[in-house]
Structures are given as structure tokens and as C-alpha cells.
Amino acid sequence: MNSKRILLIIGGGIAAYKSLELIRELARRGIASRCILTKAGAEFVTPLSVSALSGEKCFTDLFSLDDEAEMGHIQLSRSADLVVVCPATADLLAKAAHGHANDLASTTLMATDKPVLMVPAMNVRMWEHAATKRNVATLRADGTAVIEPDEGAMACGEFGPGRLPEVLAIADEVEAQLDRHSGPKPLTGAHVLVTAGPTREPLDPVRFLSNHSSGKQGYAIAGALADLGARVTLVSGPVSIAPPRGVDMVPVETARDMLKACETALPADVFISVAAVADWRPAISSSKKLKLKDAGETLPSLTLSENPDILATLSKKRKNRPGLVIGFAAETHDVEELARAKMKRKGCDWIVANDVSGDVMGGSENEIALVTKDEIERWPRMDKLAVARQLADRIAQTIGHPGKNQLAAE
């Protein structure tokens, strides 16, 4: 997704401020935004704020000689992979449906040869008006994608359909539209198996052994691989985040559940073991809640049993071993040295090593070293989505050129 770009047309209305959040969210996903701000939109957000977030000039005026000399409206209309109108007001919907071209936004919509996505936001009465319904139907018949608005309380005090959808939902739809209109992807046809999140090992019906893993890094990796065209099976322990768009989700609880789900998902071209799997489980799990002992009685001891080693098990399979097996090493000291030792011990091909002595577990950023049999690549600290995209690109390069790396024999 790193080379994708949208042209974002920002219409008027209180929902215009959410376009700034959308620019930021799309940037997190590797999608750049070039922006047109309508005259009405400029009543709610400024060209300076749009430029600051997009990193590019914000275009506003059809008759600006400087802008026309720098990038004319025809070139601007064709400079992106997708045109997104957010918020799409009733006025912009009407202009686009009837071919009006009396300002930069409407002229650009008339001149573009790229797919268009409309994200409406307006008063409920305006959205339900017969004219708006006709305009939306016309646009859809002409091939324009129009998202249904959300229902809820509005700034005007009324309630009903017409609210701008949530920014994450809009960003998901932008990615879906880009996917729909893009060419072949580098991981199309590949099956990638990813584990994520913690596991929970029950002591009794209400208590368990677990860890602080949020699942964010594994989920981001699964999403980035799906964006590159892979069929992704995500085996996840209990987390509080939604699964990425386009992946096959398999929820599990314990380490033994996770191993069984992984073996069921094979064969796979790539296996990435991101999950923070509990090394031990209680030897005996009580069917009833354990009670505190009375004063003077000895506290009960806890006997542990070793959990199956999922990474080693899949790495050392004689049959159905994935061609590329990647483990994660979450360490608090001697990170690279311990990662090399883990790669040799587990029999995997790569180790993604990270220092979790700070705020990595549960946080939004990560700093990793990619350890292979030949080298160590040290990546700068970046957010987990950026780490995921870089790792997905590295995987695509590798399995696209099988001779480049010597992978473990099946």
C-alpha cells in the first residue's frame, strides 16, 4: 500500500473536521492524500491544517493561476488512484450527479478518469429527501461508490441517518476500493498463517495465567499481508481489538488450542508466530473456583506443566512445513544474541527480535531487529502498522524470489 494515493475532496459541514482524522489514519496505513478544500469546507477546517497533515499543498481555487501553472485541475483529477469526497454534502452529490462544474471540486469530479468514493454527511431530512435519493441512485448507476451514512445524534439536534461514518470504517472502505481497482498483488495466491495475542491458561473457571500482549502487532501484520493479496489465517488469543479486514479469524484460548488451530490451517507458504504464548499452564485446572484457606492453613502450591512449543513444532515438521517460518523474540536484555540462539533452537528461518522492557507490549510502537541466517537488519522505532508493512514487503520480496534466501528444507 506504500505507493497508493488518494485525492481527498473536503466538503462543507461540521463533519469536515473528521477529514483531518482520515488523512492521519490513511497515512498510518501507507496511503498518501492530496487534498481539495471547498469554500464551504474552509469554514470548518483551514488549508494550513490540511496541508500540515497531508504534507502537501492544499488546493482551493479553480481560478488560481499559480495552482493551474503548478498542477492544473485536469492533472490534479488524475494524480491519484482514487478520488474520495468526504464529507460529501447534498450539494456535492447533486453537482456530481448532474455534471455541474462551477468550482474546483466539481470540475475535478467531472474531469477525473479514476474511481470515485462518496462519503455523505448531512442532516437527516436532507439525506432522506427525494432529490438526494435520486442523486445517489444516479451516481451509483454511473459507477460511483457511495457509503451509507451512520445513524445517530447530529450537531443540529436531530437524530437519524446522515452522520459521517466512523473514520476507521471510512479508511477500511478506501482500502477496499483501492484493492478493487488495483492490479495483481505480490502475495496473491500465497497462504500465510499468523498467530497473535496472548494465550490464557485456566487455574479455575475465573482465574488464568496470561500476559500483557495486546495483539496489535500480530493483527497489523495479518492486515498488511492481506493488503498484499495473501490469504491470511489469523489464529488469535483473547484480545480487545477487531480483526483486520480480509483475514480468516480463528479465536482460541489456550496454547494447546492455538497449536491445534495452526496444524489444522496447514499447509501454508509462510508461518509467522507473533503470539505471546504462555510457556506453562497449571498442571491441574480446578472445575470450581479455588477458595482462600482459613487462617493457619497452608497456602496451596501451584504445579505447572510445560505448554507445547508452537514455533518449534511447525518449524520442525517433516510434512507441510511452511517454506518460510518466522518467530518473534520478546526479550528484556541481550536481544540480538538471544534471538540468534532462539532461531537455532527452534529451527525457524527468521526471528523478529524486539526489546519489551519498555512500553512495547500493549503500546503502539515497536523497534525491532530482523535476524536471518545471514544478517541482522536493524529497523528504526516506528509504529506497529509501519513495522507490519515493512515485514510484509520483506516477505513478498523473499517468496517472490525463492533463490534469494536459503530457507529451511521441508
310 is in an annotated binding site: yes
Helix (H, G, I), strand (E, B) or coil at 177: helix
Nearest to 384 by CA among 203, 196, 141, 238: 196
Flag whether 59 is marked binding: no
- 282 assigned binding-site residue: no
Would you call 284 exposed, middle or buried from its count of C-beta atoms within 10 A (0-12, 13-18, 19+)? Answer: exposed
58 catalytic, yes or no? Answer: no
How far apart (Å, rounded) are the C-alpha atoms in residues 32 and 51?
12
CA distance 294 to 221: 49
> Grid coordinates representing 269?
507458504
Q: Cell digits for 113? A: 478518469
With residue 95 as reference, give the H or E element that holds it.
helix 90-98
Which grid coordinates belong to 396? 513478498
Whose grid coordinates read 512495547? 360
Where on the phi/psi map is residue 101: left (φ > 0), alpha (ψ -120 to 50), or beta?
A: beta
Dihedral angle over CA of 266, 272, 275, 278, nearest 10: 70
* Euclidean distance between CA atoms 16 and 44, whole angstroms: 6
Residue in 58, 86, 156, 348 annotated catalytic: 156
Q: Is residue 155 helix, strand or coil?
A: coil
Instruction: Look at residues 274, 262, 241, 264 and name the one whose alpha carbon lies nearest to residue 350.
Output: 274
Is 57 annotated in a binding site? The answer is: no
| Annotated binding-site residue? 279 | yes
Catalytic residues: 156
Detail the residues annotated as belonging to a binding site for CTP: 279, 308-311, 328, 342, 346
